Structure formats: structure tokens, C-alpha cells
Amino acid sequence: MKITVVGTGYVGLVTGACLAEMGNDVLCLDVDPNKIRILNEGGIPIHEPGLDLVVARNVQAGRLAFTTDIERAVAHGTVQFIAVGTPPDEDGSADLQYVVAAARNIGRLMTDYKVVVDKSTVPVGTADKVRAAIADELAKRDFKVDFAVVSNPEFLKEGAAVDDFMRPDRIIIGADDEQAILLMRALYAPFQRNHEKLLVMDVRSAELTKYAANAMLATRISFMNELALLAEKMGADIEHVRRGIGSDPRIGYDFLYAGCGYGGSCFPKDVKALIKTAATVGQGLKVLTAVEDANDAQKLVLVEKIVQRYGADLTGKRFAVWGLAFKPNTDDMREATSRVVLAELFKRGATVTAYDPVAMDETKRIFGDEPRLSYAANPPDALKGADALVIVTEWKEFRSPDFARIRADLKDPVIFDGRNLYEPSVVVAAGIDYLPIGRAQMTRA
């Protein structure tokens, strides 16, 4: 099948590469010539484990190509995936200008039947706007040709996106055009040979499903984070609580880990957008408003623990920070807790030596030449000259550290752990004070 993917960001590149992997002829379009240059030179503009190998293999096989030529891209694919960004607008709603612009380009240049697929995360009603934009461009040309608009939301986890696409839990198709549904079934057949995973529904339900899924996951995280704060005050251990409630099959263990707040390109943006969408029809979403407020507060918990120990004025204090990306296995810094932690530490006069396996370049882009921020080549180097260690992202390489070295290198042997990586008794036995979230705040006798 000939497929065009508009947008070579996170969703678009993964979608194009994985569809090419199954034998389809895929052309990826982007208006950013720098991105296309990087891709055509064999590079990858985003960090996603395994994606580089899939892209290289399919480019070499001739099934995957990249272009800035809009006319070529519209002519190429019977199926046109729109996978452009939908950044939050000033009021929190999703900005659809790039989605509508992509739709207008298709309507302006198409000459035969197209299935236009909204792959970007978009509010309910976006398919209607895409359909209207295409119809308007066709009318301007006085050209009549059939087309269909489909909602096919992505459910990709950053850091595991290739595996998620190749082995999906479910494939949501929102459509009312039988020919389009048949084409989408054929396209996704190789991804569900084991059992049927494709769910066909109306377009608006498909659009809402994506937002509802992310909102539910964000709710679980904020619930556990608030419960962790309660557990800490009442002398309970949130890890024991997590295992206790997670063993109930009605609840399960996923997304029950307490920490220092969620971030990334999806949860914060989608919760805001769903609240805003609901407001446009006069429906308040009280639970989600609380989820958002709780998450904003949770991002300050580590700093509050630091202030409680050292006071509000941190002038002269240096902190080692392990982890900058919003989660492991990505360099994505969007809405990352580290951004809040660093800004708050700087505001109080502290300096920071930070380490992250892949996100330091992105951090440098965000913070620029911030004089109070330096970078380490590895986790132990970040400890040198630091008063304390702050853990913000749960990278695997942080899970089994040399506690004796941490104790020796820190001026004040203490770990502020925003991800509850260690067993408190083990850390304290090594002569280090341990301040996790929702667990016993253990200090040396």
C-alpha cells in the first residue's frame, strides 16, 4: 500500500518506519528541511530506542523515503496520515493550525480518492474540521473527488514506541466510510495476526478515546502521588500500599508508582486540552482539574524537602541531579519535572551539576548558558563537590549505585529520591540519609 505520513516528529517517524517495516511504500513529508536533511543523511532527529535500525533498514530496502515536496507527498499515498504537532494554545486548548494546514494541502493537490487519517492527538470534532478544510479546497478548484477522514489515534509510549506500534494492545479506527474501513483493516492486518485488536467506532468516539486513555493514566499517577504524601505523614509506606492495592485485579499494578510528577508531550497537554474541550460544551471536569493541580504541586515536592533540610536560602549549596528527561529512554524534556526542580534551585541561589544519559543536549538548548548549571560525563562525576544528590528520572543505570562512593563524595551524605529507587534501610545502612516520596524519611542515627 502507498502511504504518505505528514510530519516526521515522534509519532510520524515511528508510524512511517513501522508501516514500511511491514512492506508498505511510505513517503514521509515535513516542511522542516533540516529534519529531512538529517533523515536523508541517515540520522534520526529524535531519541527512540530501536527506531534508527528500523528507519535504516527500510530506507535501504526502498520502502521508506523523506521529502519536503508537498505535491509529491499528496500524489504518493492513497492513505494520508496527518501526524503533525498539536501544541497547547495559550488557553490550554490544542492548536490545530498545523493539522488544518496539512488537510488544506491535501485538498488543494489531490486528484484521486484519499483516506485522510488523523494520527495526531486532537480534540473531539477535529475530523469535521479536516473534512471541511479539504472540501473547501476542492470547491475552490471546482474539482470533485471522493475522500474519507478517519481518526486513528496513536498509543505509543516514549522509549518503547517501536514495540508499541509493532505489537499494539488495540488499534482504534473511527470512520463511517466503508471503503476507508476496509483499507485500514488491510493496512493493520499484519499487526494483529495473533488475535483481533482493531476496534471500529464512530469518529468522535475514537477522538475522545485517546484523550480519555491519557487522562485515566494521569489520574492514577496523581492519585498515587497524593496518597504518597499522606502515607509519609502517617508513617505508612507507599510501596507497601502500591503492592497491596495493585494485587486487586480490578486495579492492577500499572501506573501506580509514586514520584515527583508526570511530564512529557502527552499527559500534561492532553489533560489540559480535555478540560478545555469539555468547557466549550459547558461540562466541567472536576476530577481532571484536581489531577492537573496535584501534578503541578508534586513537581515541587523534592524542592520542598531540600528547603526543609537546608532552609529557603540555598546560596553556596551545590546539588548533583541525576536524570533530566521526563522519563527514561527518551531525551524529551517537555514538561519534565527536572525543569521545575532546576529553576527552583537556581531561584534560591543553588548551583547544579546534572547528568542524564541522553537529555543533556536538550537541557542545554532549554537553559542555554545558565552559569549555575554544569554537566557531568557520568553519574559519579556529578557527585564531586556536591552537597547532596537529587534523583529526578529513574534511568536503569541509577538503580544499583556505589553507595560508599556516594557517601564519600557528598559533603552532606543525603539522597532526595523523586522516584523511590532504593530500599531505605539499605541506603541508611551505607551511612546516607534517604528522603524518598511516600516512604520513611530515614536519617543516620
Residue that is written with C-alpha cell 478544510 in the block = 133
Those residues with Cβ within 8 angstroms of residue 136's Cβ, 6 or more apart along the chain or in another chain: 104, 107
What does the alpha-carbon distance between residue 234 and residue 256 come to, in Å, rounded to a whole number? 19
Q: Work out whether strand 147-151 and strand 318-322 pair parallel, antiparallel, or are unpaired.
A: unpaired
Contact yes or no for 150/174 (Cβ under 8 A): yes
How far is it, in rounded angstroms, from Cα 82 to Cα 103?
8
CA max distance for the chain: 82
**Is residue 266 among the annotated active site residues?**
yes
Encoded amino acid at 40, one letter: N
- By CB atoms closer than 10 A (0-12, 13-18, 19+), residue 195 is exposed
Give the active site residues: 266
